Structure 1
């Protein structure tokens, strides 16, 4: 008869849920309120982040210091604004504008659409001090 704590009685796999921290929640709220994604339409010419930042700044009369823009996958760019009304101005219907031959599309960043749920299959060995091996 197996004893209490026998490794043979333990399940092969277990599921762990990791809760988010307040800092993670704040970051998600910031991205949802101030973030946007952009992609190039048409014949998709090459454009770098500086060109797109200039296009947004010029077209919508937004100070360049209020715009942070980086390359992003799967869309072409991720934009983070300092103020929400600037993001709303960019993503307002139809969420598309032309600048210097570029066909630029924009949409608000949404948590559900832009993050992936990942199954991390890791086995972890824990060492707990002052606990009998048969516990």
Structure 2
């Protein structure tokens, strides 16, 4: 997604006023733009430098006049012909080439892991431009008061289209070449995995002109919708507590108390530990499976996160 600039707006106005498109009434690919140009110069009295004809799609030709009155005269021609082929001339318009889209959801986005030297609006656009049109970057992020995440507001058609992960590649602008050494072929760069956190969604107003913002929970270093890693102060598993209780029975010198050192007791404890170890391994595999399923879920608002590796250039 890209915003228009003043140069694009000026060119839009120029083409709307001075350009037409031409369609051949028969399917032929041997009609050259020069032939169309000669026909129009002859019928309209246009100087050679005041008209440009190029092949075009989905129509056959794009014709741009230097002066608007020549464009208007071309539209009034009745069934002009190139050789024995009739062409149909229509005004150039931008709408037939596009679909109207309304960006009505206002969203707050926090971008994590953009390198500090690249905190600017141009880089932000590259990270989220596929689904958003930037409204503004927050002042705190411009001042770099908190560099954990770059925060901004944007407009989007559907918050679910916002990616959870964006791959940002910064290439070098220059290369050092030593005397007598051939310059390196291609370019090199650094790729960063940017986490795109959807923080707040302000939906479009309802029929009563009301809009209720929705705050979305997210965590640093965790892709939206995935489970956060277990904190260090979380309670230990029952299996580990049981093993520590066994260790508490030790007399402090690496030996168990006499009351548990009988041959039968040692055999029973050995079999019990083997069974506990097998059960613990099964539980660990089960937890790993559930964690994988959770990390691959859509996470509510948005679709599946990007792959674990950056896409290859096509």
TM over 0.5: yes
Q: Distance in 2 between matches of 1:59 and 1:18?
A: 41
Q: TM-score, normalised by structure 1?
A: 0.70
Shift of 1:104: 1.3
The answer on whether the counterparts of 1:69 and 1:79 sit within 8 Å (CA) in structure 2 is: yes
What is the match of residue 39 of structure 2? 55
What is the match of residue 116 of structure 1? 98
Q: Distance in 1 between matches of 2:53 and 2:7?
A: 22
What is the match of residue 97 of structure 1? 80
Structure 2: tracts of 5 or more residues without a match: 102-110, 117-143, 151-314
Post-superposition, which runs of at least 4 consecutive aligned residues in structure 1 deviate over 3 A? 42-45
Q: Distance in 2 between matches of 1:58 and 1:90?
A: 12
Shift of 1:125: 7.3
Aligned 1:12-27 pairs, distance under 5 A: 18-27=2-11
What is the match of residue 258 of structure 2? none
What is the match of residue 84 of structure 1? 68
The answer on whether the counterparts of 2:113 and 2:148 sit within 8 Å (CA) in structure 1 is: no
Give CA-to-partner distance per residue, 1:79-104, whole Å, 9 cap, x none.
0100001011011265x312421211
Task: Describe the shift of the 1:47–1:127 C-alpha distance in structure 2 as closer, same or farther (beyond 3 A).
Answer: same
Task: Establish whether residue 133 from structure 1 lines up as the match of residue 148 from structure 2.
Answer: yes
RMSD: 2.8
Q: Distance in 2 between matches of 1:18 and 1:39?
A: 30
Q: TM-score, normalised by structure 2?
A: 0.32
1:29 aligns to what SS in structure 2? helix
Q: Distance in 2 between matches of 1:19 and 1:69?
A: 28
Match of 1:69 among 50, 53, 60: 53
Shift of 1:107: 0.6
Q: Distance in 2 between matches of 1:73 and 1:60?
A: 24
Which of 1 and 2 has higher RCO (CA within 8 Å, sep 6+)?
A: 1
Give CA-to-partner distance per residue, 1:48-103, whole Å, 9 cap, x none.
11111111111222112111110001110000100001011011265x31242121
Q: Distance in 1 between matches of 2:62 and 2:23?
A: 9
- State the aligned residue count: 113
Q: Which range moves more in the overlay, 42-51 or 100-109?
A: 42-51
